[in-house]
Structure 1
Amino acid sequence: MGLKADWLREIKHILEGQGIHAENAIQDSFKLLLLKEGKLILNLISLDQYDDPEELLSYQFSCFQEGIQVIHLWEDIWQSRKEQVLSRLKSVMGLNQRLHGRSTSVEKISKEDAESFLEQYHIQGSAGGRYRYALQYKGEAVAVAVFSHKRKMKGKGEDYTSAELVRFATKDGITVIGGMTKLIKHYLRLFSPNDLMSYADRDWSVGNAYRTAGFELVAETPPSPLYVDPVSYIRYFLHRVPEESDQEKINSYIQVFNTGNLKYVLYQ
């Protein structure tokens, strides 16, 4: 049932409290919630269970071929990022208010403002980057994108440069139509890299937004092992466990994994 036995019931209760019908289902070892009449499936993964990442990917792919999206929701992500999970689900289900990107304006924002926005609205929180822009609507940021600086890619040519879209998020309850594309075009006009890459989390995404924006799928990264602190629910990659952690604390961590990423590139 998980470290907190009621977390599976809690998700369904909260979803239905917001008018979202969710139907319980079990398939093999998977504990599922069926949404959108079965067209969206939440695979609920407790920290006290073990699944083979390849089994998760295989199930996700077989559903994708039938037009069904599968989201792998881990217990620690739910416990630590409930508001962001609910926001993302409503976005995937098309329940957000829709705002046209042409009614917004692009503005450069500070590192502090970007971090605050992303911690509040992105399921993975903030991340490092060099350039930060927001879409403003009636004086309020409704979307934020963070980009890296350009890097030389001499293997592709003497003057070839590449950059990365590190983060993109919208305000809770809002979908900005064409918003990601608008921010990307602004960055490309300013810095003109030969390509812009980005990664979609396979636990959550099938890459629809990237394909719509003109990106091409170029690679699929393999699942990565992670450690979870069972108290704080903070996730660490194996090489990023805090050095000050004592061995007893490290031994209490729970090993999990993600299902990897989809790497997309927008060529110029």
Structure 2
Amino acid sequence: MYSSFIEDFSAFIHSLSLNFERRDTLFIIDKAGGETANQKLCVNLELLGHDSGEYPRNADITIFEDEWITKGELVKDRIKVNLGLQRTIFARNCHVKAITQNDAKRFLDANHMLGYARCHYRYGLYTLKDSGSLRRGSLVAVATFSSPRLIKRGEIVVNSYEWVRYAGLSDYRITGGMGKLMKCFLRDQNPQEIMSYSDIGWGKGDAYEKLGFTLIGKTDPILFCLKKESLARIPAKALNNQDSLVKLRNKGNFKFIWTP
């Protein structure tokens, strides 16, 4: 698997006609049109059976081999967006409305690395006019939120909601999409607090900070075992016998909180 994963990823980057430098499993890739150091994307490949729990400090993104195998097209789309090779939709040309569980599930299963998860509130962003191959009324982004929980913060108790999922169409950059969906949720629910997690393997969570969230910590990496046939991830702590299974450890999550 070692050579196949690296060779496949190298061939993918070559197909984008971008220059890159490879240092073992680390790829340093020039972004589209970029020539300076801050216009490069560092992608680390994490190979199955090589779990060390340690990652290059300068890696912007870490791709695990099981994700490349099971969700390859979605991973490729996200890499292209991070390299500046995306189509763009502006949220100002869209409107927000509440959507059904089925619509949210169908969209998130196709466009979010973790797929759909249980939630209470679901919002969709729809185009107001034709845009390229997208017709007017196309669903281009989804945000889902939990029901509120009472959380004690110091001397007060607040209604805290979790922002469970956000995803745009995987091969588009939805400029302003997160903010527009959040604004609608704020208007409808008037939350005292919103909490959310951001996968460290896919960046620093800059989008949350731009929306006024504060980074308050990060979760520990989780050790997973993989099913041999499907490569589905199972938390190792849920299994009694792990000896015969392939293991991997993710990078954990950043934890963000928003307050008015």
Q: TM class, shorter-chain normalised?
A: 0.7 to 0.9
Give the C-alpha shift of residue 92 in structure 1.
1.5
| 1:99-248 pair list within 5 angstroms | 99-137=89-127, 138-156=136-154, 160-240=158-238
Give the C-alpha shift of residue 21 in structure 1.
3.7
- Equivalent residue, structure 2, for 1:90: 80
CA deviations on 1:99-145 (whole Å, 9 max, x unpaired) are 22111010211111111111111122221111111100121100011
Give the C-alpha shift of residue 20 in structure 1.
3.8
Give the C-alpha shift of residue 183 in structure 1.
0.6
CA contact (8 A) 1:12 1:22 kept: no
Q: Distance in 2 between matches of 1:225 and 1:199?
A: 18
Q: Distance in 2 between matches of 1:209 and 1:158?
A: 28
The count of corresponding residues between Structure 1 and Structure 2 is 245
Unaligned runs of 5+ in 2: 32-36, 128-135
Q: Distance in 1 between matches of 2:259 and 2:225?
A: 35
Q: Distance in 2 between matches of 1:80 and 1:20?
A: 25
- Equivalent residue, structure 2, for 1:66: none
TM superposition score normalised by structure 1: 0.84
CA contact (8 A) 2:49 2:247 kept: no
Pair 189,156 (structure 1): closer, same or farther in 2 beyond 3 Å: farther
Specify which of 220, 228, 253 is matched with residue 245 of structure 2.
253
Q: Distance in 1 between matches of 2:153 and 2:211?
A: 26
Between 119-128 and 231-240, report the one with greater CA deviation: 231-240
Pair 156,110 (structure 1): closer, same or farther in 2 beyond 3 Å: farther
Give the C-alpha shift of residue 231 in structure 1.
2.1
Unaligned runs of 5+ in 1: 64-68
Q: Distance in 2 between matches of 1:167 and 1:210?
A: 13
Give the alignment's Cα RMSD to 1 decimal: 2.0
Greater percentage in helix: 1
Q: Distance in 2 between matches of 1:259 and 1:85?
A: 17
* 1:203 match: secondary structure: helix
- Equivalent residue, structure 1, for 2:13: 15
* 1:153 match: secondary structure: strand
CA deviations on 1:190-243 (whole Å, 9 max, x unpaired) are 1112111110111112111111111110111121111112321111113455xx
Give the C-alpha shift of residue 50 in structure 1.
2.8
Q: Which aligned runs of 4 or more in structure 1 are off by greater than 6 angstroms?
A: none
Question: Partner amino acid for 1:262?
Answer: F
Q: Distance in 2 between matches of 1:140 and 1:219?
A: 36
Q: Distance in 1 between matches of 2:83 and 2:196?
A: 23
- Equivalent residue, structure 2, for 1:35: 29
TM superposition score normalised by structure 2: 0.87
